[in-house]
Amino acid sequence: MNDMRQMTALGRKIEQGSFAIIDREVGEHSFPPEEWEIVRRVIHATADFEFAQLMAFHPRAVSAGIEALRGGCAILVDVRMIEAGLNRARLDTYGCEVNCYISDQDVIKTAKQNNSTRAIESVRKAHRLGKLDGAVVAVGNAPTALLEAVRLVREQGAAPALLIGVPVGFVSAAESKEAVLDQSRPYIIARGRKGGSTIAVSIIHALLKLSVEATS
């Protein structure tokens, strides 16, 4: 598998310089090395050092994410922006498919009929299709998608390999992430209102980098 570094020497130099600045400005922290790899990539993607206080990890989050990716898991995303940001060549090496049902006509129809949201119905569709169990679920935009994933875990025994909960916003965004803390599956979240698709992408890319290093 190709590594996760920049492709040119100058690109690698710039990236390494950025990470050095982040390490220096954050200083001492309590994250284990693998979790820190994820946190500093989130900071790198956002230039927002507050994420060093907002990121929270289930004890098995990193190992579960690496194992799932290396096993060719499905990746369920709430919006196409995450899908567009992922490096497909790196995912294809493991055989990981990316699923996003938010714009499917049946999802839109059902959401209107149920006075629901497309995000909720897209997660329900993934569960019906058997695409939720064993998947890495990455939510960067829609809190209702994250809340529905949590509900399916609690009430229907859904078993995603990893929940990445980083929706951004004001209505239910912070609450949806707190709900993740009170369920049984491994998770990575950014507490509070901050988040976004870029952060979800950076977390998955960090996990891919860690998965490569685990085989080196």
Question: Whose structure tokens read 């310089």?
Answer: 17
What is the Cα–Cα distance from 137 to 143, expressed in whole angstroms? Answer: 13
What is the Cα–Cα distance from 22 to 15, expressed in whole angstroms? Answer: 11
58 is catalytic: no
Residues with Cβ < 8 Å from 34, sequence gap 6 or more?
62, 210
Which one of the listed residues 29, 44, 58, 127 is annotated catalytic? 44
In the chain, where do the E strands start and end?
A: 55-57, 75-77, 98-99, 136-139, 162-165, 187-190
CB count within 10 Å of CB 167 equals 30
The answer to whether 124 and 148 are in contact (CB under 8 A) is yes
How far is C-alpha 36 from the chain's CA centre?
15
Question: Whose structure tokens read 């400005």?
Answer: 25
Burial 93-108, CB ≥16 within 10 A → b, else e: beebebbbbbeeeebe
Give the catalytic positions in this structure.
Answer: 44
